[in-house]
Structure 1
Amino acid sequence: MSYGKAVREALVKPTQALRRAIPDVYAGYRELHDAALADGTLDTKTKELIALAIAVSKECDGCIAAHAHAAVRHGATPPEAAEAIGVTFLMNGGPATVYGARAYDAFREFYEAHTATHGNAA
């Protein structure tokens, strides 16, 4: 099973329907998202890796797919993703070993697609 693209694709239509139903809520969330993940003292790549680790702890496959993809787009590497996911083992125990594996699979899926089109530099 794909924990990256397949999860994102499965959520497209339901998300679009809900977005049409509550556009102002989504607009507010987008503002929060963009503000929280903007470069600051921490760069966006680091923040996306933090978000990926939190997604593992929250056991949210949609969040895992979104933040794995974004972390790759912002230059994260598989070893960086693995270390961020490893911290979730400490903080979340056994469930993190399941969702961490899903997160790493999603990350590698997006990383491989990215490097196939953009070369080895993430």
Structure 2
Amino acid sequence: MESMTEVREELRQPALNLRGLIPDVLKGYAELSKAAMAEGELSAATKELLALVIAVTRECDGCIVSHVRGAVRQGVTRQQVAEALGVAIMMNGGPGTVWGPRALNAFDEALADRTAKA
């Protein structure tokens, strides 16, 4: 996986193009995401970790980038990410051992970006 910044940049224009063609669908998806990730019986931080585990098992680099950034915003620690990635490895086997470290690198990059902006 490229760096988190490269993945975001690579996906930015195609996402904008698609949004221009099907704005209602993507608006609905954004509303669904907001509702699903809201605080509830599960914390937003826990939900970001769940989403990250799913992103790793689905091998979705754009999803990994999105959810490590969300995890950083929610104050998730590197150790919490590592333990969640352990679950991804357990559920996904060999591919989890490839995508898990990629996700940890993306988390480190997102955390460094947030720290630099603070």
Smaller-chain TM-score bracket: over 0.9
SS of the residue aligned with 1:82? helix
* CA distance in 1 between partners of 2:98 and 2:56 (Å): 9
Matched residue type, 1:28: G
Matched residue type, 1:108: D
Q: Name whichever of 34-43 and 109-118 sits farther off.
A: 109-118
Asked if 1:5 corresponds to 2:5, the answer is yes
Question: How do 1:26-65 and structure 2 match up within 5 A?
Answer: 26-65=26-65
| Cα distance, 1:56 vs structure 2 | 0.1
Q: Would you say the 8 A contact 1:3–1:61 is kept in 2?
A: no
Structure 1: 5+ residue runs without aligned partners?
none
| Cα distance, 1:96 vs structure 2 | 0.5
Structure 2: 5+ residue runs without aligned partners?
none
Aligned twin of 1:98: 98
Where relative contact order (Cα < 8 A, 6+ residues apart) is larger, the structure is 1
TM-score (norm 2): 0.95
TM-score (norm 1): 0.92
Q: Residue deviations 1:53-111, cap 9 Å, x none?
A: 10000000000011011110111111111111110111000000111111111001001
Sequence identity percentage = 53
Give RMSD over aligned pairs. 1.1
Aligned twin of 1:78: 78
Matched residue type, 1:24: D
| Cα distance, 1:116 vs structure 2 | 2.7
* CA distance in 2 between partners of 1:22 and 1:40 (Å): 30
Count of aligned pairs between the two proteins: 118
* CA distance in 2 between partners of 1:4 and 1:71 (Å): 14
